[in-house]
Amino acid sequence: MGNSIVQLMQSRVSSPRLTEPAPDKGVMERVYRCALRAPDHMMLRPWRYLIIESSMRAALGDIFAGSAVKQDASMKPHQVEKFRAMPMRAPMMVIAISENITHPKVPVEEQVISCGAGVAYMLLALQAEGFGGVWRTGPLAENSYLKTALDIAAHETLVGFLYIGTPCGELKPVPETDLDTHFKPWQPPAQ
């Protein structure tokens, strides 16, 4: 099955249910360093990550709820409370942002992809360290009120909310995928 890194990558799964403890500072520093090794055209480093520590989750939940209501004033109270509770689903969270720097050779899409690679590296690193995470977006990722409240500029992309903690119970089994469905040898078109 190849070396241990390749094995780890093939066994990566998301952990939608997360509990205490959060990884400690040392673990998270290693996880963050992995994100900073994402491939990066012209070395723009077009990423920034907001770390939501445990004690900040309630304040973030209030911002989630307020932003959701501003977007949809007809929202029912129980729906608003669902948004408020979102950050409490894990002991900590990282919000990934692509800065989308204007550059003649590096389109915005490449910067968003690069940030996404950083998130994927963090998921892998978390699992390697014995922790877990899940990458979520949903309507809040495109909510302009939320972006303003979090000081995310309109031109920046909120690439994802990475929920982090200790997986509840066993990790999910890796789903079966058929290599040949996704990978096919290319051949030049017939003349």
Ligand X SMILES: Cc1cc2nc3c(=O)[nH]c(=O)nc-3n(C[C@H](O)[C@H](O)[C@H](O)COP(=O)(O)O)c2cc1C
Q: Is 161 helix (H, G, I), strand (E, B) or coil?
A: strand
Of the two residues 106 and 124, which places its CB atom closer to ligand X in the complex?
124
- By CB under 6 A, residue 13 contacts ligand X: yes
* Closest distance to ligand X from the beta carbon of 39 (Å): 17
Of the two residues 125 and 134, which places its CB atom closer to ligand X in the complex?
134
DSSP E strand boundaries for 54-190? 92-98, 132-136, 157-167
- By CB under 6 A, residue 46 contacts ligand X: no
Of the two residues 49 and 135, which places its CB atom closer to ligand X in the complex?
135
Please report, for residues 102, 111, 156, 159, the alpha-carbon distance to residue 108 in angstroms, rounded to integers and kept in the order given. 8, 5, 9, 12
CB distance 100 to 156 below 8 Å = yes
Of the two residues 107 and 138, which places its CB atom closer to ligand X in the complex?
138
> Measured on CA atoms in the order 52, 53, 54, 58, is the torsion positive or negative?
negative
Q: Interface mask (CB under 6 A) for ligand X, residues 15-44, using x and -? A: ------------------------------
Of the two residues 5 and 42, which places its CB atom closer to ligand X in the complex?
5
Among positions 138, 142, 144, 153, the unique one binding ligand X when judged by CB under 6 A: 138
How far is it, in rounded angstroms, from Cα 151 to Cα 163?
A: 20
Size of residue set near ligand X by CB under 6 A: 9
Neighbouring residues of 138: CB distance < 8 A, sequence distance ≥ 6: 161
Q: How many CB atoms lie within 10 A of CB 26?
A: 9
Among positions 20, 53, 88, 137, the unique one binding ligand X when judged by CB under 6 A: 137
Among positions 87, 160, 165, 167, the unique one binding ligand X when judged by CB under 6 A: 160
Binding site for ligand X (CB under 6 A): 13-14, 134-138, 160, 172
